[in-house]
Structure 1
Amino acid sequence: MTIGKMIKHKELLGRPTLRKYLPETHWITPARTLRMMRSYSTIFIKPNKGSGGTGIIRAKRIRNGYEVRSGQSRKVVGSGSLYRAIQSFQKPSQRYLVQRGLQLGRYKGAIFDARIYMQKPVSGWVISGMAARVAAPQRFVTNYHKGGHAAPLHKVLLSLFGKRRKANDRLSKIAALSYSIAATINKHHPIRELGIDLGIEKSGRIWFIEANSRPGHMLFKQLPDKTMLNTIMKNKRLIRRLHS
């Protein structure tokens, strides 16, 4: 089951305790795009039903105008041509949203986010895996299929904050937030797995990026410790046995 990004955004927006974690997001129009570009230094244009980081466009304010990038392609334009440049990277068959860009924390010079692998093998949600997704050099998406790689989340948070207590505090917050997100989306959709992606700024602020109802587990194969991968696979078998 593929659930569109905007549906999930609106469902989470309906829960007051989650609103502060949601970056501003709208269906794309020329006026909204320009307004958000004035409010934020970076915006992302995402296909409503895309996954794996495919088709994401980034528009960024630079000294002499705007830089619009998709994959390895880039255009530098003035404000009059900004929307046209974004459209040139869009697929006509897709609906797109425009979203505030986040100042993600960095690990060894590359941006990262957190992937939380949630499963509901029986009656309650469990966190089967947590890992950092570290982007490939010069990439603005962290997805495995776009060259991103896994790193132990606690190690990455410790590197970002330099203090064990703050890293542990953020881990607890990430876990609590993931349970809330899974429960909220599950209210509307009969799902048993969810890959939740959260952005963490250097300040420690946490943002919701995406929740994928068909999460891949390849990221967890890259971790030296296979405990989380084994838990994911064990729960997958249990879900198949009990619910297929």
Structure 2
Amino acid sequence: MDTATISSGRQLASKWLKTNALLSNPSIARHIPPSRLFTSANLQAMLSKYGMVVIKPVCGGGGIGVMKVSRSAAGYSCTYMAKTRTFHTFAGLLSHINRLRGRRSYLIQKGIRLATVRGRPIDYRVKYVKANGVWTFRSMVGRVARRGLFVTNLCRGGTRLTASQGIRQSLSQKMVGAKKREMRRLTKIATSLLERRFPGVGSLGYDYGIDRNGHIWILEVNTRPQ
């Protein structure tokens, strides 16, 4: 069972279902990293195409189980938490990933080279909540990964900044207003898509990444935002 209803609104655990709902709108789709369900063939194809991918549980949060996988002339590498292992063969890489993921369903996302603050990746959490029938923005914060990690989750030692501080420190002061406006605009459009597809959602946490070229990506949408 993928969903449950509690007092704060409908919960939707599956990242895959939410991703597909957002892909239905072309103006939002260009902000969704290319994604596929995890299979050996899909992993091989996406590594060949993009060189670096992130794989994550279809259901789950807090950065638990998230891996970064890269392909190079020398072979493959897989980073989980602060530990990176290298492999000469795809079979060796696959065996390692399967040990880590167990029986859980995973998805593969094109790796986004996020803008950084002092060499550490930063992303943004935008919390959007429906109260008395009206959607309102509750917060927009930057999260800088703990040194040595690529996940930014605060429960994994990430550092919280205001969104303005994060954009200024990772990109430039002149981008602050435009990037915050764009994240709000994308949030409103995406929420209307999700609410139409999954009636009853009432609390959403959008994880946005801004790459080194300034393009905004929707990395994930949570229906139980912390």
Query: TM-score, length-normalised on structure 1?
Result: 0.84
Q: CA deviation at 1:64?
A: 2.1
Q: CA deviation at 1:99?
A: 1.0
Match of 2:213 in 1: 203
Q: Which 5+ residue runs of structure 1 have no aligned equivalent?
A: 217-244
- Determine whether 1:169 maps to 2:178: yes
CA contact under 8 A between 1:119 and 1:126: conserved in structure 2? yes
Name the aligned partner's letter for residue 101 of structure 2: Q
Question: How far apart, CA to CA, are the structure 2 residues paired with 1:91 and 1:73?
Answer: 18
Match of 2:161 in 1: 151
Name the aligned partner's letter for residue 17 of structure 1: S
The structure 2 residue matched to 1:60, chosen from 70, 89, 99, is 70
Does the C-alpha gap of structure 1 residues 72 and 161 become closer, same or farther in structure 2, counting only changes over 3 Å? Answer: closer
Question: How far apart, CA to CA, are the structure 1 residues paired with 2:86 and 2:201?
Answer: 42
User: Any idea what SS the aligned residue of 1:120 has?
Assistant: strand
Match of 2:143 in 1: 133
Aligned counterparts, 1:46-195, within 5 A: 46-78=56-88, 79-92=90-103, 94-164=104-174, 166-189=175-198, 190-195=200-205
**Percent of aligned pairs sharing the same letter:** 26
Q: CA deviation at 1:72?
A: 3.2
Question: How far apart, CA to CA, are the structure 2 residues paired with 1:30 and 1:91?
Answer: 14
Per-residue CA deviation, residues 177-210 of structure 1 (Å, 9 max, x unaligned), is 1111122112222111111000001211000101
User: Any idea what SS the aligned residue of 1:21 has?
Assistant: coil
Question: How far apart, CA to CA, are the structure 2 residues paired with 1:183 and 1:122?
Answer: 16
User: Any idea what SS the aligned residue of 1:49 has?
Assistant: coil
Q: Which 5+ residue runs of structure 2 have no aligned equivalent?
A: 1-10
Aligned counterparts, 1:23-34, within 5 A: 23-34=33-44
User: Any idea what SS the aligned residue of 2:148 has?
Assistant: coil
Query: TM-score, length-normalised on structure 2?
Result: 0.90
CA contact under 8 A between 2:50 and 2:111: conserved in structure 1? yes
The structure 2 residue matched to 1:215, chosen from 203, 217, 225, is 225
Deviant stretches of 4+, over 6 Å:
none
Q: Which has the higher helix share?
A: 1
Question: How far apart, CA to CA, are the structure 2 residues paired with 1:11 and 1:52?
Answer: 22
Q: Which moved more, 1:59-68 or 1:32-41?
A: 59-68
Question: How far apart, CA to CA, are the structure 2 residues paired with 1:87 and 1:27?
Answer: 14
Question: How far apart, CA to CA, are the structure 2 residues paired with 1:180 and 1:124?
Answer: 14
Name the aligned partner's letter for residue 83 of structure 1: L
CA contact under 8 A between 1:46 and 1:97: conserved in structure 2? yes
CA contact under 8 A between 1:43 and 1:101: conserved in structure 2? yes
